[in-house]
Amino acid sequence: MKRLAFYFDSSSCSGCKTCQMACKDKNDLGPGQVWRRVYEVTGGGWKKQQSRWRQDIFAYNLSMSCNHCEDPICVKNCPTHALGKRKDGIVQIDQSLCIGCKYCSWVCPYGAPQFDSQKGVMGKCDFCADYIDQGKNPSCVDACPMRALDFGDYQALTEKYGLSDHIYPLPAHSITEPSLCIKAHPNADMPNPEVSNIEEVKIG
């Protein structure tokens, strides 16, 4: 079975959020609806060593949407079966079946499903499935000026780029087996990282 996945190069991302805006524009998302979010991760500081000051300041970005997991916990916990997985691995919401109970958002470790208060139902990244069916790229991929985003078959992407199982602030890869291949930023292993734009990316 084909498994479509996103690839993200954290070492190339400038944090411009063009991918985020392209997603909002393509899906006509209202205020509070951000299906792709760019996390700004920072850390470090200045330390005095004898008579000198030294710094270990670092920063990197992480662009995140629904990861169309191999084992999607949202699908398992939807009481109306509004969430389903296509043969190509894309996880979609049938909003005609959704009752807006938010169970999917509560169980998703990535905060992908989001409640649309205007429609009273859940919504999330659907990999631009309509574009995929037309042979086009997802809007976020085409919009990225740094070419930090790509997509394709998960196995092919991991063979081409390798796989980072974990990069802060992502949860453990083993929870849902996300269809996401990441090239980690060189500073991704620095100690005590924090999301500096938490108010922007948090859901609810």
Q: Which residue has the higher pLDDT, 47 or 107?
A: 107
pLDDT digits (tens, 9 = 90+) for 117-158: 999 999 999 999 999 999 999 999 999 999 999 999 999 999
Number of structural domains the chain divides into: 1
pLDDT range class, residue 165, cuts 50, 70, 90: low
Average pLDDT over residues 165-185: 90
Host domain of residue 191: 4-201
On the question of pLDDT at 166 being above 90, the answer is no
Domain holding 46: CATH number? 3.30.70.20
DSSP labels, the chain: ---EEEEEETTT-----HHHHHHHHHHT--TT--SSEEEEEEE--EEEETTEEEE--EEEEEEE-----SS-HHHHT-TT--EEE-TTS-EEE-TTT-----HHHHH-TT---EEETTTTEEE---TTHHHHHTTPPPHHHHH-TT--EEEEEHHHHHHHH---S--TT---GGGT--SEEEE--TTTT-SS-EETTHHHH---
Q: Which residue has the higher pLDDT, 65 or 164?
A: 65
- Most confident residue range from 91-100, 152-161, 178-187: 91-100
